[in-house]
Amino acid sequence: MKNRNTVSARKELKARRAKAALLTRSIITGVLIFSCLSFGAVLGMYFVLGMVTLTGLILVVESIPMVKFLFKKFSRVIDILILLGSILAVMYYGVTVAASLTIAGIGYSLWYAPYLRSIDMDVSVVKYRGIPYGVSFS
């Protein structure tokens, strides 16, 4: 009789350990999945905010001809300013603003700045309210 109780106790102990191991694996798997999804969501948020920032910059530059001309002439300086802005954003505003500025800076450096350098603009073509710069009214 003692032997039978010992066998059933061992089976019960084995079953409890199996349930505990399954529960532990489930918790670890859940935490791992949640952390990966959270990390992906954070990176996605940084990317979206960076693209929104870059889109806003492009809209401002394309809508004001004089600003477009200045961006074309000083595109390398603006690359450096965006880099410095992202470094300062880490110190003052946090990683979210810094990451979005970094994404916007990468987009500007790799896509928009080469486009600006490729177009041919002359100061006399740049107009302010329909009046070409360099025209005197005297």
Dump the DSSP string for 55-80.
HHHHHHHHH-HHHHHHHHHTHHHHHH
Provide the pLDDT for residue 65.
Answer: 84
pLDDT digits (tens, 9 = 90+) for 53-107: 999 999 998 888 888 888 888 888 988 898 898 888 888 888 888 888 889 989 9
Residue 35 to residue 33: CA distance in whole angstroms: 6
The answer to whether 72 and 116 are in contact (CB under 8 A) is yes
Percent above pLDDT 90 for the chain = 6
pLDDT band at 128 (very low <50, low <70, confident <90, very high): low
Residue 35 to residue 46: CA distance in whole angstroms: 16
The one-letter amino acid code at 64 reads I
Spatial CB neighbours of 109, under 8 Å, sequence gap ≥ 6: 79, 82
pTM of the model: 0.64
DSSP assignment string, 24-38: HHHHHHHHHHHHHHH
The more confidently predicted of residues 2 and 138 is 2
Report the DSSP beta bridge partners of residue 127.
132
Provide the pLDDT for residue 129.
Answer: 53
The one-letter amino acid code at 131 reads I
**Of 95, 86, 84, 89, the residue nearest 43 (C-alpha):** 95
Assess whether pLDDT exceeds 70 at residue 125: no
